């Protein structure tokens, strides 16, 4: 297998050796072959990231008619303090179960997993933006409760520890 490429393995897409996993039928439906071709033709990682972002944007188009969901997505993205699914549900007047169904239907993730991915993404942005910060500071600024959760998310999403991500030349963040 060629490194730094998207591979289609049964019903899952694996981006960057465990970095990001999507269920192809849930997200890209019948576009799998087209995506595979575009990713194979891309000459560098940034182009691959842009391809995935474009496809995800297209997939989400038309799904923003649920204002409760839009509010929750924005709040998760912009929140500066740890946020729970219960807090999200209460803020839009839905039960946790109703919110979970809406997330699953529109986003393809549970609210808890979406919050976790958002927190991880935020930590990657902090790593890039504040290279002088210690990993403990990055974890704190990214709303991780402790170092163990921070490390666990990195190992799950990238296969590396946070320090390993910084040192790896294979990972674009």
| Model confidence pLDDT, tens digit, residues 64-78 | 578 888 899 889 888
CA distance 32 to 139: 35
Based on the fold, state whether residues 160 and 123 are members of the same structural domain. yes
CA distance 163 to 145: 18
pLDDT of residue 60: 62
Based on the fold, state whether residues 123 and 161 are members of the same structural domain. yes
Domain range enclosing 73:
67-110
How many domains, in total, are found in the chain? 3
Residues 91-127 have pLDDT tens digits of 999 999 999 999 988 888 899 999 998 899 899 999 9
As given in the structure block, the two tokens for residue 7 are 């591979």
Residue 158 lies in a domain: yes
Residue 172 lies in a domain: no
pLDDT mean over 28-44:
76
pLDDT of residue 21: 42
Q: What is the pTM of this model?
A: 0.66
Residue 91 lies in a domain: yes
Query: What CATH number has the domain bearing residue 154?
Result: 1.10.10
Label residue 88 by pLDDT band (50, 70, 90). very high
CA-closest candidate to residue 39, choices 31, 47, 27: 47
Residue 1 lies in a domain: no
Sequential DSSP letters for 26-85: HHTGGGHHHHHHHHHH--SHHHHHHHHHHHHHHHHTT-TT-HHHHHHHHHHHH-SS---H
Query: Cβ(139)–Cβ(131) under 8 Å?
Result: no
CA-closest candidate to residue 114, choices 173, 54, 73, 58: 73
Based on the fold, state whether residues 87 and 124 are members of the same structural domain. no
Based on the fold, state whether residues 12 and 38 are members of the same structural domain. yes
pLDDT mean over 117-145:
92
Based on the fold, state whether residues 121 and 159 are members of the same structural domain. yes
Based on the fold, state whether residues 18 and 49 are members of the same structural domain. yes
β-pairing, 20-23 vs 6-9, is unpaired
Query: Cα torsion at 26, 8, 154, 53 (round to 10°)?
Result: -60
Based on the fold, state whether residues 52 and 81 are members of the same structural domain. no
Mean of per-residue pLDDT scores for the chain: 79
pLDDT of residue 76: 87
Residues 7-27 have pLDDT tens digits of 333 333 333 333 344 444 445
Based on the fold, state whether residues 100 and 122 are members of the same structural domain. no
Question: Per DSSP, what are the bridge partners of residue 15?
Answer: 6, 20
Based on the fold, state whether residues 130 and 162 are members of the same structural domain. yes
CA 85 vs. chain centroid, Å, equals 17
Residue 43 lies in a domain: yes
Cβ contacts of 52 within 8 Å, gap of 6 or more: 6, 15
Based on the fold, state whether residues 129 and 146 are members of the same structural domain. yes
Residue 163 lies in a domain: yes
């Amino acid at each position: 297998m060629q490194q730094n490429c998207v591979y289609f393995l049964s019903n899952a897409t694996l981006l960057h050796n465990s970095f990001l996993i999507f269920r192809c039928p849930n997200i890209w439906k019948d576009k799998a072959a087209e995506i595979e071709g575009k990713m194979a033709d891309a000459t560098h990682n940034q182009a691959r990231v842009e391809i995935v972002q474009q496809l995800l944007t297209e997939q989400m188009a038309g799904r923003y008619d649920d204002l409760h969901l839009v509010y929750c997505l924005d709040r998760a993205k912009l929140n500066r303090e740890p946020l729970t699914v219960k807090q999200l549900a209460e803020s839009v007047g839905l039960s946790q179960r109703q919110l979970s169904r809406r997330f699953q239907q529109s986003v393809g993730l549970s609210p808890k997993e979406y919050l976790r991915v958002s927190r991880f993404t935020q930590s990657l942005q902090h790593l890039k933006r504040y290279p002088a910060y210690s990993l403990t500071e990055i974890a704190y600024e990214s709303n991780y409760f402790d170092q163990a959760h921070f490390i666990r998310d990195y190992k799950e999403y990238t296969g590396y520890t946070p320090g390993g991500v910084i040192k790896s030349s294979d990972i674009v963040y």
